[in-house]
Amino acid sequence: MYWSSYRPYVSVAARRAKAAKHTQKLAAKGTTLAPVRIEGRTIAHTFWGKAWCEHLESFSDYENRLPRGRSYVRNGSVLDVQVAAGKITAMIMGSSLYHGTITVAPLKPAQWKAIKAECAGKIDSLVGLLQGRLSDAVLRVITDREKGLFPKPAKIKLGCSCPDSASLCKHLAAVLYGVGARLDTQPELLFLLRGVDHLELIGAAADAAVLAPVGETGAVDAADLSEVFGIEIEPAASAAMPKAEAPGRGRTKGRGEILKVKIPVPAAVPRKVKAVQKKSAKTERKSASKPAKKSVRKKTE
């Protein structure tokens, strides 16, 4: 082994400058990148991101290359990470621009079925699942090193365009950490990567919520729906409709809301009907101008 076989060292500042240059070129061509940006030293902050990184670090297969990967992802060398079903593609800036591909085997149906059986009825809402607000029992099932959601090294195939002959180069190690950072904001990508539907984990809880009477445990909470869909849901108004005080005027309802009473607009009247109505009105006016005859009331015996 000779020193000439190693690529020359490239400083962090030089890599960042090259990364910015390549990013501008790709943006000019219409390529949309999803770079990994790490603030400070901590790569992942939420349950899903931390669990992913801790799972990777539990395997001796990766321990030699992960430290360099942490350095690369922290200094902004991961220019793009795209997560799809069973596949991660990435661009990493080293001494040159490298392209990486990580293939992850889908979760076996029997394994997914076992996870769903263990979690049945224990996950209350979609928000709770994605935010990691789970019971200890569910956490143990999901993060189990052998039977959980996270892939083992045997289920991962690595490929990088760099000249490093190691099974896990520092560039792909940085990408794996980048996926952990991405799971902080998009935890559903883990389920997409493993080829399963995360909504199936809350299916039993959702069915119970639909069947439960209003006010009982399991009913869908408006605050959860607001958080999932990003909208504000007002409390349900009273079923009784207040009476309008006068046509065309409003009356306050509830907390300052205005009940607007709409008066239907009459349809257009045909010309012939208008003429008849006008003649009838004229006749009525003439009759009204004549003195009225005194009515004789017949006395009853």
Point out the domain boundary residue: 184, 212, 232. 232
Lowest mean pLDDT among 12-16, 57-61, 110-114, 273-277: 273-277
Residue 280 domain-assigned? no
Residue 144 domain-assigned? yes
Let me know whether 61 and 72 are in one domain: yes
Most confident of 18-22, 95-99, 175-179, 225-229: 175-179
Residue 94 domain-assigned? yes
Residue 95 domain-assigned? yes
Residue 27's domain spans which residues?
A: 7-107+152-196
Per-residue 3-state assignment (H helix, E strand, C coil) for the chain:
CCHHHCCCCCCHHHHHHHHHHHHHHHHHCCCCCCCCCCCCCCCCCCHHHHHHHHHHHCCCCCCCCHHHHHHHHHCCCEEEEEEECCEEEEEEECCCEEEEEEEECCCCHHHHHHHHHHHCCCCCCHHHHHCCCCCHHHHHHHCCCCCCCCCCHHHEEEEECCCCCCCCCHHHHHHHHHHHHHHCCCCHHHHHHCCCCHHHHHHHHHHHHHHCCCCCCCCCCHHHHHHHHCCCCCCCCCCCCCCCCCCCCCEEECCCEEECCCCCCCCCCCHHHHHHHHHHHHHHHHHHHCCCCCCCCCCCC
Most confident of 4-18, 60-74, 144-158: 144-158
Higher pLDDT, 82 or 165: 82
Supply the mean pLDDT for the chain.
76
pLDDT, position 158:
96
Average pLDDT over residues 10-27: 77
pLDDT at residue 14 tops 60: yes
Most confident of 177-186, 221-230, 282-291: 177-186
Let me know whether 98 and 120 are in one domain: no
The 10s digit of each residue's pLDDT in 48-68 is: 999 999 999 999 888 888 999
Confidence of residue 286 (pLDDT cuts 50, 70, 90): low
Let me know whether 115 and 13 are in one domain: no
Lowest mean pLDDT among 149-158, 174-183, 281-290: 281-290
Let me know whether 80 and 205 are in one domain: no
Let me know whether 64 and 103 are in one domain: yes
Q: How many domains does the chain have?
A: 2
The 10s digit of each residue's pLDDT in 185-237 is: 999 999 999 999 999 998 644 444 433 343 443 334 445 544 544 444 444 44
